[in-house]
Structure 1
Amino acid sequence: MKKQVVVYKKLSPELMARLQAQAEVTLIEDLSPAGMQRLRQALPRAQGLLGASLRLDAELLDLAPQLEAVASVSVGVDNYDIDYLSQRRILLSNTPDVLTETTADTGFALILATARRVVELATLVRAGQWNSNIGPRHFGSDVHGKTLGIIGMGRIGEALAQRGHFGFGMPLIYHSNSPKPAVEARFNARYCSLEQLLQEADFICLTLPLTAQTHGLIGAREFELMRPESIFINISRGKVVDEGAMIEALQQRKIRAAGLDVFEREPLDHDSPLLQLDNVVATPHIGSATHETREAMARCAVDNLLAALAGQRPANLVNPQLWPQAAG
């Protein structure tokens, strides 16, 4: 008998057909109030869940007493109550590898866009306000040769470092839980404290996950340590940053600019002060948003879910401590 799977994310016809060949699939096409009602109705029968952008807390999980596995179409797992999932012996998997290069591309796009004021000046041209040669008032700053500071040296941090070091000749400093000798050797990088990085880097890039330890990591004190010419880039999670402190730093020109793909609340509020600042480039959480990468992420999630439901270890298991118990 096929197992019951609830999918709350649109999949390509190929991936949907693959799932349907091995499971009974209920598709929730959106997470509107009506979609959430359908999801709640489907959860009591669900043995597998696949999707993204939904906070799966104990309240929702309690509606799914037969649940065996959750496959997230994401690298971040801050939407999941991992302790409760583990307590229930529910396997959680994610898609950590396939989005690395694309997300690093997004990070470097924000570096270039903020440094060269691309969005601001393109808007000026579109508005018909380019009436003379651009002068110092509209000049940007160079990227090549500037110091790139990366906070969080995981897969995405390394991919960003590769672009900066080999593509733009940028001296590299970084801060993470521990030094990474291989990174230092490959990119001629220097490990330093968070305080040192904030004081020295021209570009300060966040590429670390949201955890209890990183929540609010960058606040008013940290922005005070940055230099007026610093440019701040966040492609990690919005809640790693105290958004109010960041807005104040940008308004008072304590830092030059910010390139932001993530925010405390998403979608970003229409009345957010960030939208009124000409030294902010804001994008709608597009880190992995290419056709190729999103399909690869979905394929990885399907692989993870089908493996778990077949009694095999998913390739990207977030709570691996369950595996010996689950296998037994």
Structure 2
Amino acid sequence: MKKAISAQNTKMYLENPNAAPVASGKLTSASASTPCVVVFDDVSKVANGAPVYITGSGWTSIDNQEWVIQNLDKDAKAASLAQSDTSAETATLGKDAAWTINAFADVCAQSYQINQTPATSIDTTTLCDEEKTSLVGFRDPGTLTFDFFIDPTDPDYLALLEAYDDGEERMFEIIYRNGAVRTLPVIVQSINETGGVDQAVHGAATLKITGQPILTQPSQAAACPYVLTVAVAPLSGPSPLAVTVTLTETGGHASNFAIDYGDETTDTLPAGTVTKEYTYATAGSYTVTVTPNFKGIPGSVISSAQVTAS
């Protein structure tokens, strides 16, 4: 670990959910996988390492939570959600699936320090032992402290005070000069102010880290995610119902696809399949599921669509 980078030009931002969001939109697709890969309707203001809030997907594993964006492919408008797991989801992605990226306040730190607290050591030594024995206890994520200059009229400083007053968890971003991003969930614990003759008004803040930090590598080093989108048309109609299943791949190509039409009929589609015709002979509600056979992607990665024949 001899490689070093300068701390100069490191940017630090504290999430400000009380301000207007910087970006929002719809999710057009999502994969049932670990991690979940989502497709945005617009990625012009989406970036690796940014926390995105998901609502309306109908998937409890990701709804009403913030997830850190990784492996962003702007051409495909696709990205993975760090530490997410939607592999158990079987429902079709909700038509109201939406995303929001909140505004951030620039803390413009003079210096900073991340203080990780060592895990406790639990002594398990008994008279039977020939030497000391122990177990590792819980680890405290620690604190983040930074120094800054205060201007009481600065909106970003006021946003920091709001975070201290409400005590709500927020995301904190450290963007290094080489493009790497460290994203941490924090609560502002304290803000101190000092001043003196021939000195600038100076501040210091202590933020409690409330969860595991996520480190996102620069976009040029990130691998493009693979995502499969399944569309069925029409989604409903009288039986017998003839439908067209359309497969769209981004980030790679599967060697074949296992398709389950939901009526006890299955098939294997060859690589490069774009559309497949199928007819539902009897009335009912069916879930079309497609599992790509793609190198490095587990078989649990599926995309699905709901069809109703009346």
TM-score bracket, normalised by the shorter chain, equals under 0.3
Structure whose CA Rg is larger: 2
Q: Which has the higher helix share?
A: 1
Instruction: Please give the TM-score of this superposition, normalised by the length of structure 1.
Output: 0.17
Instruction: Please give the TM-score of this superposition, normalised by the length of structure 2.
Output: 0.18
Q: Which has the higher strand share?
A: 2
